[in-house]
Amino acid sequence: LAKTTQPISMDSYEGQEVNITCSHNNIATNDYITWYQQFPSQGPRFIIQGYKTKVTNEVASLFIPADRKSSTLSLPRVSLSDTAVYYCLVEDDKIIFGKGTRLHILP
Amino acid sequence: NAGVTQTPKFRVLKTGQSMTLLCAQDMNHEYMYWYRQDPGMGLRLIHYSVGEGTTAKGEVPDGYNVSRLKKQNFLLGLESAAPSQTSVYFCASSYAPYEQYFGPGTRLTVT
């Protein structure tokens, strides 16, 4: 069972780049790494997914080192609306969301 | 497309009552999931389905039953509600076991 560990909370300021790191030491060969965002009173929303190296979309970048034991979600130039909880998942046969990282963006 | 919809949005039950939560998706997804989220906590998987007519247990299945008679619908049943089942319930669907699309949630209170 690939368990993930991420910081409980983070603060940042508008316009800065935010990096949230997730560790997953027991990740299996076939597992993908997926990040979700959740606003209060809403269901989570898929942000990005990757297997290795770097993945980028219009919302974020995902950096995965060669050993795949960790991953970093990078949010460029955050705004107040990026205040949310961010979940890192390793998609094996057990889907475990964990408590996520509460990101608070300050003006 | 409506995406993933959940019915009802809110419900109050008394201990021992039963109810069914309905999840519907119009994306032709094979996989569907039911989660619960307690205040300040992450989501916990209750049951899931990998296709029409199939169901499987997740992390916290006790006290719940599910059925997937049609591909687009996934029902979550509580046969005898308990206060410990007070939570927000989210349904999700996906094409493969990645990139899940979530519904708006059902807020259930059991008194």
Average pLDDT, chain B: 94
- Quote the CA–CA distance of B104 and B88 in Å, as a whole number: 10
Average the pLDDT over B14-39 and give the result. Answer: 96
- Which pLDDT band holds residue B97 (cuts at 50, 70, 90)? confident
Residue A2 pLDDT exceeds 90: no
Helix (H) and strand (E) counts for chain A? 0, 9
DSSP A18: E
Which of B44, B30, B35 has its CA nearest to residue B89? B35
Average the pLDDT over B66-72 and give the result. Answer: 96
- Quote the CA–CA distance of A92 and A52 in Å, as a whole number: 16
Q: Chain B residue closest to A96 (CA)?
A: B44
pLDDT at A92: 66
- Which pLDDT band holds residue B2 (cuts at 50, 70, 90)? confident
- Which region, left, alpha or beta, applies to residue A41 given φ > 0 means left and ψ of -120 to 50 means alpha? left
The larger pLDDT score, comparing residue A45 to residue B99, is at A45
pLDDT at B42: 86
Half-sphere exposure of B23 (CA within 13 A, CB side): 30
Buried b (16+ CB within 10 A) or exposed e, A26-65: ebeeebbbbbbbbeeeebbebbbbbeeeebeeeebbbbbe
Q: What's the gap in Å between the CA of A105 and the closest CA on chain B?
A: 18
List, as ranges, residues 55-84 from A with C-beta within 8 Å of B: none
Q: Which residues of chain A lie closer than 8 angstroms to B89, CB-CB? A: none
Among A49-58, A86-95, B26-35, B57-66, the range scoring the smallest mean pLDDT is A86-95
Q: Which residues of chain B lie closer than 8 angstroms to A32, CB-CB? A: 98
Which of A13, A59, A65, A4 has its CA nearest to residue A37? A59
Q: What is the pLDDT of residues A63-96, one digit of tens each?
A: 999 999 999 999 999 999 999 999 999 876 567 7
Q: Chain A residue closest to B103 (CA)?
A: A43
Q: What is the pLDDT of residues A18-72, one digit of tens each?
A: 999 999 988 888 889 999 999 998 999 999 999 999 999 999 999 999 999 999 9
**All residues at 6 or more sequence positions from A18 whose CB lies less than 8 Å from its CB, including other chains:** A10, A12, A74, A75, A78, A82, A103, A105
Dihedral over Cα of A85, B98, B37, A26: its sign: negative
CA B66 to chain centre: 8
- Quote the CA–CA distance of B79 and A85 in Å, as a whole number: 32
- Quote the CA–CA distance of B20 and A75 in Å, as a whole number: 39
Among A16-30, A86-100, B14-28, B38-52, the range scoring the smallest mean pLDDT is A86-100
Q: What is the pLDDT of residues B75-94, one digit of tens each?
A: 999 999 999 999 999 999 99
pLDDT at A35: 95
